[in-house]
Amino acid sequence: MTIWDNIYKNYQKGGEAWATLSEEIHPLFKQFLSQSNFELKHVLDIGCGTGKYLKILQAGGFKTDGIDSSETAVEMTKKILSNDSIIICVNMFELDIPKDKYDLVISISTIHHGTKEQVQNLINRIYEAIVENGKIFITVPDFESSKKWNTFKDHEEIAEGTFAPLSGPEKGLPHSFFTKDETQKLFSKFRDVNLELDEIGRWVAQASK
Q: What is the 3 state secondary structure string of the chain?
A: CCHHHHHHHHHHCCCCCCCCCCCCCCHHHHHHHHCCCCCCCEEEEECCCCCHHHHHHHHCCCEEEEEECCHHHHHHHHHHCCCCCEEEECCHHHCCCCCCCEEEEEECCCCCCCCHHHHHHHHHHHHHHEEEEEEEEEEEEEHHHHHCCHHHCCEEEEECCEEEECCCCCCCCCEECECHHHHHHHCCCCEEEEEEECCCCEEEEEEEC
Supply the pLDDT for residue 14. 45
Supply the pLDDT for residue 147. 67
Position 40, amino acid: L
Supply the pLDDT for residue 18. 44
Supply the pLDDT for residue 17. 45
What is the C-alpha separation between 49 and 75, in angstroms, rounded? 9
Pairing, β 63-68 against β 42-46: parallel
What is the C-alpha separation between 110 and 152, in angstroms, rounded? 17
Per-position pLDDT tens, the chain of length 209? 576 566 555 555 444 544 555 567 899 999 999 999 999 999 999 999 889 999 999 999 999 999 999 888 899 899 989 778 999 999 999 999 999 999 999 999 999 999 999 999 999 999 999 999 999 999 999 988 766 666 666 778 888 888 887 877 777 788 899 999 999 999 999 999 999 999 889 999 999 99
What is the C-alpha separation between 171 and 151, in angstroms, rounded? 9
Choose the CATH number for 97-102+109-209 among 3.40.50.720, 3.40.50.150, 3.30.465.10, 3.30.365.10.
Answer: 3.40.50.150
Contact 135, 207 (CB under 8 A): yes
Write down the pTM of the prediction.
0.89
